[in-house]
Structure 1
Amino acid sequence: MAPAPRRTPAAKPGTRSAATRSTIPQLSWRSPQPAPIVLVSGPEEVCAERAIASVRDYLRAEDESLEVSDLRADDYTSGSLLGVSAPSLFGEPRLVRISGGERMSDAFLTEALAYIEAPQDGATVILRHNGASVRGKKLLDAIRAGTGGGVEVACPAIKRDSDRFDFASAEFASVGRRIAPAALRTLVSAFTDDLTELAAACQQLIADVPGDVTAEIVERYYGGRVETSAFTVADTAIAGRYGDALVALRQALDSGVDPVPLVAAIAMKLRTMARVAGSREPAGALATRLGMKDWQVNNARRDLSGWNERTLGLAIMATAQADADVKGASRDPVYALERLITIIATRAPYGG
């Protein structure tokens, strides 16, 4: 006997998808639930992979006989969707994972539109669409309008520093683990360009470290990462520790760190300082307004000790020049870096 259809969770009022107003539930990728149709949308692949795996694990925990099938929407054979979703002789639950929705073929679009009008009992169909194109918009709109009794799991891009901090912090919180703020900052700084690597690093620390994760532990694991070395240089220079900053710069360069991320790390710190400078708002209110975390605001305010509007402006202009120099405007990027560190650490024009 085929299992009874699952009830779709109630929709949250006022939720919207990226493309059109949605009347179906909008679920977090960290806690998705199965439904006849599960639309996994958005560009963040690591979140989408987690969501799809979670739905599979949920269904398998309900019934170990779960049948899992994979289809490609962009390389689709007519009749495949109905074939793999149809009830078997013994009525096992079925999970159909469909990738490449942003490149779906006309054949898939036609059959998927027909399928969502009458989904198969006992089947869960997951459609992955990364939003890279408007291909299949008619299907997405129909799903979001409620046809098929679906849910949507949004996986928006994680680009801002605050979003990456939230992601990493939630990785530890989801398993009841604590990571110190300084450790979190070091960890996120070490993986600024790759969320997949950041997720893997979080999981490695969770698996390897039995207690709280400290800054020393993160430094031991990932202290050799380019971005971490870059922030060490930036921190010592901004703190006015000229000698230490030059030593840190030399160590970073000797270990193979490229000048470009070094300048980028300094620019990021100075931008944050500039955004916070002059504001007397409470840290929480300012952080909310700027899309930051309370501790980021507090750190920036500490970094501003000894700085004023003139010296901060000087440092920002010097950083812009150094950025151009290390990207080809100068024949000697190392000299450009040393000049930048000197200006920042001394709060004075070079040679002044």
Structure 2
Amino acid sequence: MTASFATVTLIQGPEGLLAERAVRQLVDEAVRQRPDATISRVPASGLDRGTLAEITAGSLFSAASVVVVEQLAELPANLADDVVALATAPEPDLALILVHEGGVKGKALLDRLRKAKVEQVDAPMVKAWELPQFVSAEVRRQGGRIDRPTAEALVNAVGSDLRSVAGAVAQLLADTEEQVITRADVGRYFAGRAEVSGFAVADHCLDGDREAALGSLRWALETGVAPVLLTSAIAAALRNLGKYLGAREERLRDADLARRVGVPPWKLKDLARQARGWNAPAVAAAIQFAATADAQVKGASGDPGFALDMLVLGVIERRRDSRRSPAGCP
């Protein structure tokens, strides 16, 4: 990916971190070529014909312009022809970068830009099962090393937000010797975060461990974890378990089963263990508990802590019901 002048580049996709990195690389390369270039970064919704013409025409101090138009889906309809004209016959002193966050809005403009053969850079959403691979690539990008189990442990500790994962990699590489990240490093920096996360509470609920679930719930609330994140984590864990129960009889490969469920392959062992204590009707009933608790912590109840207690106890009781009637009978 190399920016040059007299080009238009379309960056498309929902993953903001990847899109921002692509923009930064293109801008840096353009400035390297033309250090005197004027740089403009504007939201598409704020453009009109006069502003677009002004920022793409250079300035009194430099003929060269680098223009980044963000949120392209919000471009006023009357400017579509102007943007397509720039893409069809790029100005020799203009590097135009268009950023579209994905989705169907603005599709007609995207189709016209592709027909004009603009350069394209994808910024796709990183799936849950792809996160350890992203960690490994991120570590290599910064000159470090990490093995697959350690990458999986890092994702498990930090979560699925790509910015948080990238930030964790940067922190570990800055503080570790010889640019090698080990399981001990991950445990030292991030174990505390994992212990108070909603995912830990959810795992204890699905395991039927009442004491551990209530204890981790208390600790999470005391350390500032928002109640809505806790109900969301429990609901997500239940949905994953329900999808696992529905798909495990299809004799899929682990990678295919993980994609069907929507989890990284290394989470299948946890789901397989947890599934031994559940059946589908019990999971469905527990999801209803989670939906009720979610509404309560968002305002339907004046005591989110009590609502979360009832959720944890309700989920564990549904697991007990499942074990008492393994065939799924009510």
> Is contact 1:40–1:48 with CA below 8 Å preserved after alignment?
yes
1:22 alignment counterpart: none
Distance 1:319 1:349 in 2: 17
What amino acid does structure 1 have at the position aligned with 2:112?
Answer: A
Distance 2:59 2:90 in 1: 9
1:265 alignment counterpart: 233
- Displacement of 1:324: 0.2
Could you list the runs of 5+ residues in structure 1 that have no partner in the other structure? Answer: 1-31
> Is contact 1:187–1:218 with CA below 8 Å preserved after alignment?
no
1:33 lines up with 2:2 in the alignment: yes
**Structure 1 residues 101 and 137: CA distance shift in structure 2, 3 A:** same
1:75 alignment counterpart: 47
> Is contact 1:319–1:340 with CA below 8 Å preserved after alignment?
no
Could you list the runs of 5+ residues in structure 2 that have no partner in the other structure? Answer: 325-330
Counterpart of 1:144 (choices 107, 114, 126) is 114
Distance 2:261 2:322 in 1: 29
> Is contact 2:196–2:220 with CA below 8 Å preserved after alignment?
no
Offset from partner CA, 1:94-139 (integer Å, 9 cap, x none): 533233433334674443333333223354221223357745834x
Offset from partner CA, 1:28-54 (integer Å, 9 cap, x none): xxxx33251101223433222111101
Offset from partner CA, 1:246-297 (integer Å, 9 cap, x none): 3223322333434433233233223323323343433234235545432222
**Structure 1 residues 37 and 345: CA distance shift in structure 2, 3 A:** same
Distance 2:318 2:185 in 1: 29
What amino acid does structure 1 have at the position aligned with 2:216?
Answer: A
> Is contact 1:37–1:124 with CA below 8 Å preserved after alignment?
yes
Match of 2:293, SS state, is: helix
2:22 alignment counterpart: 51
1:284 lines up with 2:251 in the alignment: no
2:138 alignment counterpart: 171
> Is contact 1:109–1:136 with CA below 8 Å preserved after alignment?
no
2:212 alignment counterpart: 244
Distance 2:60 2:114 in 1: 23
**Structure 1 residues 206 and 94: CA distance shift in structure 2, 3 A:** farther
What amino acid does structure 2 have at the position aligned with 1:208?
Answer: D
**Structure 1 residues 284 and 37: CA distance shift in structure 2, 3 A:** same
- Displacement of 1:201: 3.5
Match of 1:69, SS state, is: strand
2:122 alignment counterpart: 154
- Displacement of 1:184: 1.7
1:13 alignment counterpart: none
- Displacement of 1:341: 5.4
Counterpart of 2:269 (choices 295, 298, 301) is 298
Counterpart of 2:35 (choices 53, 65, 74) is 65
Distance 1:271 1:196 in 2: 25
What amino acid does structure 2 have at the position aligned with 1:33?
Answer: T
What amino acid does structure 2 have at the position aligned with 1:83?
Answer: A
2:328 alignment counterpart: none
1:274 alignment counterpart: 242
Match of 1:84, SS state, is: coil
What amino acid does structure 2 have at the position aligned with 1:318?
Answer: A
Offset from partner CA, 1:193-234 (integer Å, 9 cap, x none): xx4444434433333334444555445444555895222222
Q: How does 1:162-241 map to 2 (within 5 A)?
A: 162=129, 167-175=134-142, 176-178=144-146, 179-188=150-159, 191=161, 195-210=162-177, 211-214=179-182, 217-218=185-186, 220-223=188-191, 225=193, 228-241=196-209
> Is contact 1:242–1:345 with CA below 8 Å preserved after alignment?
no
After TM superposition, the structure 1 stretch with the greater mean CA deviation from structure 2, 177-186 or 215-224, is 215-224
1:318 lines up with 2:292 in the alignment: no
Counterpart of 1:129 (choices 100, 107, 110) is 100
What amino acid does structure 2 have at the position aligned with 1:80?
Answer: E
Q: Which of the pair is proportionally richer in helix?
A: 2
Root mean square deviation, CA, Å? 3.8
- Displacement of 1:186: 1.6
- Displacement of 1:163: 5.4
User: How many percent identity over aligned positions?
Assistant: 27
Offset from partner CA, 1:135-173 (integer Å, 9 cap, x none): 5834x333201x2x5211233455x53355554454334
**Structure 1 residues 301 and 34: CA distance shift in structure 2, 3 A:** same
